A and B are shown apart, each in its own frame.
Chain A
């Protein structure tokens, strides 16, 4: 397969994720859509690594996976804290950052 098909697929995945971040309201699903965007970027990084024949792009993708895991942990911690404080789990109603 040509490399360009992988890049087109990664562009589509990124766009679907971006649309989900805008359209959805549940912060859990917004985090899932952020994962989609990061995975689109990962696919593009690995495709470029294959194109150049170097493995540095794969290291980048591995670091991006670590970043995504950290983001998930913090985001889910915030959602659990919202639930504990009996706030509605809805990003439209969370308009201020206050403890």
Chain B
């Protein structure tokens, strides 16, 4: 019992720290690394909730594949970003206020809810709850249509990304090369 609580505390703190790191850090590369930490901590929380297959999918697909895509794009584009908007202080102060308002509202919803089983450890489940076998049989029996729709959606997204990001040759002219900013060719020497 205490082991579970200690694990929840560590993983929850790590997830919150990773999330704050994504929002606060300046360099987009560090933001991506912080999100990787956040995702791995969330996978630990999924394991605590007995979602073993989802925890594995989170680590393999999210932290493994999607984040590699992000890192490629960050390395391709580069550049730094201000941590918050510098000039217009209205929106940079409005953002945290808005988030705090949502947080307070959600906490009120959790306090005032009528769901009594929120204060329990959940329903009694069998040993195979959330295992790959059970999730797979549910996906192929009860949720076959959403499963196929998700696969088509992935295909459409992949084709759309290729169309969006391909190099359009012939449609636009190559820009002239930038002027050289080296030292001038001749130097006038005065004695």
| Interfacial residues, chain A to chain B (CB-CB below 8 A) | 1-9, 11-20, 22-26, 28-29, 31-33, 35-36, 39, 42-43, 46-47, 49-53, 55-56, 58-59, 61-63, 65-74, 76-81, 83-84, 86, 89, 92
CB proximity of A90 to chain B, nearest CB, Å: 9
Chain B, interface SS category: helix
B51 in contact with A70 (CB, 8 Å): no
B85 in contact with A11 (CB, 8 Å): no
Closest-by-CB residue of B relative to A5 is B8
CB proximity of A17 to chain B, nearest CB, Å: 7
Partner of A66, one of B5, B15, B153: B153
Task: State whether A66 and B154 are in contact (beta carbons under 8 Å apart), knowing that A4-B118, A61-B54 are contacts in the complex.
Answer: yes
Which of under 10, 10 to 19, 20 to 34, or 35 or more describes the interface residues of B?
35 or more
Closest-by-CB residue of A relative to B42 is A39
Closest-by-CB residue of A relative to B162 is A77
CB proximity of A83 to chain B, nearest CB, Å: 5
Partner of A26, one of B45, B46, B81: B81
For chain B, residues 106 to 156, give those with C-beta under 8 angstroms from any C-beta of chain A.
106-107, 110, 115, 117-125, 129-130, 134-135, 138-139, 142-143, 146, 150, 153-154, 156
Chain A, interface SS category: helix
B10 interfacial by beta-carbon distance below 8 Å: no
User: Would you give the 0/1 interface string for B24-59, flagging 1 where the beta carbon is closer than 8 Å to chain A?
Assistant: 000010011001001100100110111101100110
B61 in contact with A65 (CB, 8 Å): yes
Closest-by-CB residue of A relative to B39 is A39
In the bound complex, residues from chain A placing their C-beta under 8 Å from that of B51 are 46, 49-50, 58, 61
Partner of A12, one of B103, B123, B138: B103
| Interfacial residues, chain B to chain A (CB-CB below 8 A) | 4-5, 8, 12, 15-16, 19-20, 22-23, 28, 31-32, 35, 38-39, 42, 45-46, 48-51, 53-54, 57-58, 61-62, 65-66, 69-70, 73-74, 76-77, 79, 81-85, 91-92, 94-96, 98-100, 102-103, 106-107, 110, 115, 117-125, 129-130, 134-135, 138-139, 142-143, 146, 150, 153-154, 156-158, 160-165, 167-168, 175
**Which 3 pairs between the two chains have the least Cβ-Cβ distance?**
A53-B123, A22-B95, A19-B99
In the bound complex, residues from chain A placing their C-beta under 8 Å from that of B153 are 66-67, 70
Task: State whether A33 and B22 are in contact (beta carbons under 8 Å apart), knowing that A1-B121, A9-B45, A63-B146 are contacts in the complex.
Answer: yes
In the bound complex, residues from chain B placing their C-beta under 8 Å from that of A7 are 110, 118
